[in-house]
Amino acid sequence: MGIKSRLTLLNFLEFFAWGAWLLSAGAYMFFTLKFSGIQIAACYGTMGFASLFMPAIMGIVADKWISAEKILGASHLILAGLLIALANVQDFNSFYAIIFLVSMFYMPTIGLNRSISFATLENRGMDIVKVFPPIRVWGTVGFILAAWSVDILEFGITPNQFYVSAIASAVLSIYSFTLPKVGVQKSSEKKTVIQALGLDAFRLFKSRKIALFLIFSMLLGCVLQISNMWGDQFLQSFGVEYAGSFVTEYSLVFLSFSMVSEALFILSIPWFLKKFGIKKVMLMSMFAWVLRFAFFGIGDPGTGFIFLTLSMIIYGMAFDFFNISGSMFMAKESSPSIRSSAQGLFMLMTNGIGAIIGAYGSGYIVDLYSVYSDAGVIRDWPKIWFIFAIYALVVTVAFALIFKYKHDAKELGEVEH
C-alpha cells in the first residue's frame, strides 16, 4: 500500500470513529437517557473544554518525548475502552464524566493525525498543499459513512453507536503503530512554558484588527456545533406527523448531506478567497449560518422539505469558509515565529471558548422553549432555530460594520502557496 493510501486510511478511520456518534448522541441522550437540554449541552461542551488545553499538552509530548504515531495509537486504544464504558452507563453524572474523558483523548488526535500526515509527506518530498487535501477529504467520507451506518442499522438512539466508534478506534489504534515513524522533533532552542504552550501568540491581541477578528471568531464559534448537537433530535421530532418520511426514518443520513456539501465547498474556497478576500468570505460564512438556522426554522419533511434540503447545502459554505478563511487570516497577520501558535489561538477561541459558550447557551435556549411533562417533552423548534438565526445575523452585521480589512489578491496568493 502506497503512502498516500496509508494516510487516506488513517484519515478515514479517524473521522469514522467520530462520525459514529457525534450527530446521533444528542438524540440518544434525549430520547433514551431522558437528559435535559442543558445536560445534553454540557456533554457536547466537553469538546470545547478539552480543546482548551489537551491538544497543546499532547503536542508538547509528541514534540519532546513520544512520537506522534505512538501517542495516536495509545489514545485510540484508551478511547475504545472509554466508549465501551460510555455505552454501559445511563445516569448523567457517570455519562458526563466518561464523555469528558472521551473528549480529552479524542480532540488532540485530530491534530496528531494532521501532524503525522504532514511529516510523512514532507519526509518524502511531497507538496502538502497539493497532496493533503485529497487525502483529508476521505476523513469527511469516513464521517459520512459512519453516520449512514449508524442510521441504517438503527443504532441512532441506542448505545450501539458507541460500540461502532469503539471498534473503529481499536482498529485505528493497531493501525497507528504500523505507520511510518515520525520521530521526536527535539530542538536545541530553549523555550519558556508560555512559549511551549503557544501562549506567546496572545500578544497578537495588541493589534486591534487581530483582536477584533479573534473576538468575532469566538462569537461565530458559538454556532459551529449547534446543528450537530440538536439536528438529529429536531428531525426526529417530526416522527409522528411525518411518520415514514425519509427525513424521519433516516435522519442521520439526511444530516450527513451537510458533510457532502462541506467536501464540495472545500474545492471552491481558493477561488472565493482570491476573488472576494477574507472579509467577504467570512461574511458569506456568517450569513450562511443565518440561512442554515432559518431554513431549519421554516422547514419540515412535507411542504417545507426544500428548506431542510437548502439548509444541508448551505452548511458547507457556513462551516468551511469560516475555518479556512480564518486560518488564512491568522497565517497572513502573524510572524513566522509564532505562526503555529497563532493557529492554536484561533482554534482555542473558536473550538474552545466559542464552543463552550455555544453549547451551554444553546442548551439554555432549548430548555427555555421546551415544555416538560409526564407525557414527554415538547420543544418549540421554530422559535429555537430563529433565535439562533437572529444571533448569527447580529454577529454578521456587527462584523461587517466594525471589522476593517482591505483585500489584496496578490498578498493572499503568497499565503496560499
pLDDT, tens digit, 9 for 90 and up, residues 358-417: 999 999 999 999 998 888 889 999 999 999 999 999 999 999 999 987 766 555 444 333
Least confident of 121-125, 166-170, 384-388: 121-125
| 209 and 167 inside one domain | no
Q: Once rounded to an integer, what is the mean pLDDT over residues 68-73?
A: 92
CA distance 188 to 178: 29
Say which CATH number the domain at 139 has: 1.20.1250.20
Whether 185 is in a domain gets the answer: no
pLDDT value at position 415?
39
Whether 4 is in a domain gets the answer: yes
* pLDDT for 127 beyond 90: no
| 163 and 213 inside one domain | no
Range of the domain at 392: 197-417
Whether 142 is in a domain gets the answer: yes
Q: Which residue(s) pair with 376 in the sheet?
A: 373
Helix (H, G, I), strand (E, B) or coil at 65: coil
| pLDDT tens-digit series, residues 82-96 | 999 999 999 999 999
CA distance 202 to 224: 23
| 18 and 103 inside one domain | yes
Q: How many CB atoms lie within 10 A of CB 295?
A: 22
Q: Once rounded to an integer, what is the mean pLDDT over residues 16-35?
A: 96
Whether 128 is in a domain gets the answer: yes
Whether 27 is in a domain gets the answer: yes
| 349 and 303 inside one domain | yes
Q: Which residues of 25-62 are buried (b: 16+ CB within 10 A; e: fewer)?
A: bbbbbbbebebbbbbbbbbbbbbbbbbbebbbebbebb
| pLDDT tens-digit series, residues 190-199 | 666 666 555 6
| 369 and 340 inside one domain | yes
Number of domains in the chain: 2
| 85 and 230 inside one domain | no
| 305 and 230 inside one domain | yes
Closest alpha carbon to 273 in 216, 327, 321, 330: 321
| 363 and 407 inside one domain | yes
| 69 and 167 inside one domain | yes
Single pTM value for the model = 0.84
Whether 168 is in a domain gets the answer: yes
CA distance 152 to 156: 9
Per 3-state DSSP, the chain is made up of helix, strand and coil in percentages (nearest 5) of: 80, 0, 20
Whether 190 is in a domain gets the answer: no
| 168 and 202 inside one domain | no
Asked if 233 and 32 touch (Cβ cutoff 8 Å), the reply is no
Asked if 317 and 294 touch (Cβ cutoff 8 Å), the reply is no
| 214 and 83 inside one domain | no
Domain end position, chosen among 130, 152, 180: 180
Q: How confident is the model at residue 341 (pLDDT cuts 50, 70, 90)?
A: low
| 213 and 291 inside one domain | yes
| pLDDT tens-digit series, residues 241-299 | 999 999 999 999 999 999 889 888 877 877 888 888 888 999 999 999 999 999 999 99
Q: Which grid cell is 85?
A: 464504558
Return the higher-pLDDT residue of 316 and 161: 161
Q: Once rounded to an integer, what is the mean pLDDT over residues 199-220?
A: 85
Domain end position, chosen among 180, 214, 239: 180
Chain CA centroid to CA 18, Å: 10
Whether 203 is in a domain gets the answer: yes
